[in-house]
Amino acid sequence: MTKKFILGLAVCLWVFAATCVSVQALCLYSETLSGDGNYCYTVSADEVTIASYIGSGGDVVIPDTLDGMPVVSIGVFSFLNCTSLTSVTIGNSVITIGDRAFKNCVNLTSVTIPDNVISIAYGAFKNCDSLTSVTIGNSVITIGNSAFFSCDSLTSVTIPDSVTDIGWNAFENCTSLTSVTIGNSVITIGWSAFEGCSSLTSVTIGNSVITIMWSAFEGCSSLTSVTIPDSVTDMGNETFNNCVNLISVTIGNGVTSIGLGAFKNCDALTNVTIGNSVITIGDSAFFSCDSLTSVTIPDSVTHIHSEAFSGCGSLTSIIIPKSVGILYDKAFYNCSSLSLASFLGDAPHLGIGNSQFDLTAPDFSICYGAGATGFTTPTWIGHPASACWGCQSDADCDDDLFCNGDELCIDWECALGTDPCEANETCDEDAEICIEPDECEIDGDCDDGLFCNGDEMCVSGECVPGTDPCEANETCDEDAEICIEPDKCEIDGDCDDGLFCNGDEMCVSGECVPGTDPCEADETCDEDAGICVEPAECSVDDDCPNSVPFCATETNVCVECLDNGDCTDGECIDNICVPNPEGESLRIDKCKVKAGKNGKGDSMKFSGSLDVTVADFLAAGNVIVAIKADDIPDTDIITFSFLINEDSLKKGKYKSPKIKPLDKSYPVTSVKIDINKGTIKFSGKKLDLTGLNCPITLWVQIGDYYAVEVLEEDIVNGTKKPCPPKLMEGI
């Protein structure tokens, strides 16, 4: 079989597929025929790309899967020239729509693009003349060049916020399109994107658009108004050229340049707002805008190019701001109604040619500031010119008024003066003076309307404060405008001295009567707490019954115990004897403490007996040794904890792991326990017991079992030897 035959066969198969021939046609050698016989497809990584459609047309639903594999792409030319196709619903697994996938499907009326699709490629629906409705999913990022070119029946389109780029010619010549909403993520509107959309009456441009390219809306002859948002910085040439019914334009504050012919031949344009960032107005930007009667050029503009406003026959006057440095030839040429051009600065450079204002109104003249340079009189560039506005000196601005200050002449313009008086002064225009505050003629000028500060007086033109109208022992009532004698009252509240222990004062016949002691005879009054305190329960132990035989002197309450020695079994906790668990015990038999010498640290050794099972010992989790100062409750001075686990307990014997500290001055401690013999031994070296006050308490705890040893003598700065410790039973 020759290569020519193979190539010819491939072309024939492609033509059959592209024209929707409903036959069991053979697919290309690299393609697979779907099980339903409607598609030829290719597979990559278990994902399907439709290569061609060979079904019967009509209402087509592109499935999510073919032969058990997801359909992720509609390939190039896959439905090209499929004239029998009337509607398409694309499956939710499709991600991309390829180049010219549905081009020339002239009977296709509606398309639903699901949210999974992210890209609509070049010419995907080009020349789909019958397409009236298209729903673009919310994941589409790119609408490719010519994607909907010449879809003559399409009436409206909403571009979702997901789209960032509208390609060149994307909707060009969609002559039935009446409205367009461009989402808030679109950055670029491509070249001729909506050119020739002659029925387009409204367009909403999203606030993220930065670039509007050449001819984007050229020839949109039904468009009446447009607002270019502040986000747009680049506006291409002929953007709205020949939009003959455009009446109103607002150019946002982000645009820096209005391109060549941007609004050329917009015959109906009457109102233009130019943003305050525009620097350049390009060639023929508003050429032949016959209905434009006025335009304000902002102070940001520095260049007005050739024929920028040429042929604006209804324009009657123009103000050229002082920022304009170059005014090119024919900038206002053939503005037949233009009678006045006012320049707010010096004469601009003219470039090549001096026809900037030729063919204007017969009475046209040029007006400039009195101090401007570069102009000539009586004519400038062939037209009458004179210094017809502005000032030359401060005297030209003087309005002969005192209270508004001295006017100044700045850049040929009069600037208002400032108030000559201080903030607290009053200006007298007739006398041309500033009057200081508080000046007066009579006492009444000084009256502040208050009683308790007395009557103000006018003395030598100055207000003098009054004096307190009440006697030294009287109280002034501003509301009643009276002086109240001492101890006089109207209600009990007038007599309250704020104290608890002397009772509630009362107002009797206008006089305050002291209160009485609120407490019982055997009670004590506590002024700070505002309470009556009942008499103490006890002062000595003899006052207490056998069940609670001790008197706690801090609270004068009878309690069960004051310290551990008061308990026959267990520990004194919160003045209550808490016994050790029955059947188990731990106690210390010997304890020896030595104060260190020559900075070697203190040392401690102790040994004792315990009665505990292996299971209870393991359940304890650790052995804790704490050295406490008895005068600091619940505070450990030094604490050591030794971990208990099955690995550390062998044959009923426990030995704490050796730890070699990096710092040689760090304490070295160990614990040995023989559960079989019921013994415990502790050794600690390099301890720091300096400065502890006697007594020092040694606390040993294994789970719920503990013992206490009290050391009675001080260990001060490592220089005193402790006395032999007194052995104390574990409790």
Give a three-class secondary structure readout of 216-278.
CCCCCCCCCEEEECCCCCEECCCCCCCCCCCCEEEECCCCCEECCCCCCCCCCCCEEECCCCC
In a domain, 642, yes or no: yes
| pLDDT tens-place string over residues 690-699 | 655 566 677 7
Q: Are residues 566 and 589 in the same domain?
A: no
| pLDDT tens-place string over residues 500-527 | 888 888 888 777 888 888 888 777 887 7
Most confident of 371-375, 472-476, 615-619: 371-375
Q: Chain-centre distance of CA 201, in angstroms?
A: 38
| pLDDT tens-place string over residues 285-307 | 999 999 999 999 999 999 999 99
Could you list the beta-strand ranges (E) of 598-657.
Answer: 602-611, 622-629, 636-643, 649-650, 653-655
Residue 45 has pLDDT above 70, yes or no: yes
Q: Are residues 563 and 594 in the same domain?
A: no
In a domain, 562, yes or no: yes
Q: Are residues 556 and 630 in the same domain?
A: no
Q: Are residues 691 and 605 in the same domain?
A: yes
In a domain, 610, yes or no: yes
Give Dmax (Cα) for the chain.
Answer: 135
Q: Are residues 699 and 604 in the same domain?
A: yes
In a domain, 2, yes or no: no
Q: Are residues 570 and 602 in the same domain?
A: no
In a domain, 410, yes or no: no
Q: Are residues 643 and 675 in the same domain?
A: yes
In a domain, 631, yes or no: yes
Residue 556's SS3 state is: coil
| Mean confidence (pLDDT) of the chain | 83
Q: Are residues 592 and 575 in the same domain?
A: no
| pLDDT tens-place string over residues 388-427 | 876 667 777 777 887 888 878 776 677 887 888 888 888 8
> Helix, strand, coil shares of the chain as percentages rounded to 5?
5, 30, 65
Name the one residue in this structure whose structure tokens are 């009195």.
Answer: 370
> Where among 474, 502, 535 does a domain terminate?
535
| pLDDT value at residue 12 | 40
| pLDDT tens-place string over residues 47-67 | 999 999 999 999 999 999 999
| pLDDT confidence bin for 22, thresholds 50/70/90 | very low
Q: Are residues 517 and 553 in the same domain?
A: no
Cα torsion at 387, 389, 394, 399 (round to 10°)?
140
> Where among 521, 550, 579 does a domain terminate?
579
Number of domains in the chain: 3
d(CA 362, CA 623): 113
> Where among 579, 602, 636 does a domain terminate?
579
Q: Are residues 630 and 670 in the same domain?
A: yes
| pLDDT tens-place string over residues 145-156 | 999 999 999 998
Residue from 238, 245, 248, 249 nearest 268 by CA: 245
Residue 195 has pLDDT above 60, yes or no: yes
For residue 704, give its domain range.
Answer: 585-711
| pLDDT tens-place string over residues 85-140 | 999 999 999 999 999 999 999 999 999 999 999 999 999 999 999 999 898 999 99
Question: pTM for this structure?
Answer: 0.54
| pLDDT confidence bin for 3, thresholds 50/70/90 | very low
Residue 17 has pLDDT above 50, yes or no: no
Long-range contact set of residues 502-509: C-beta below 8 Å, sequence gap at least 24: none
Length of the chain: 731
| pLDDT tens-place string over residues 538-575 | 888 887 888 778 888 777 888 888 887 777 766 777 78
Q: Are residues 632 and 569 in the same domain?
A: no
Q: Are residues 594 and 698 in the same domain?
A: yes
- Residue 12: left (phi > 0), alpha (psi -120 to 50), or beta? alpha
In a domain, 595, yes or no: yes
Residue 19 has pLDDT above 70, yes or no: no
In a domain, 73, yes or no: no
| pLDDT value at residue 419 | 83
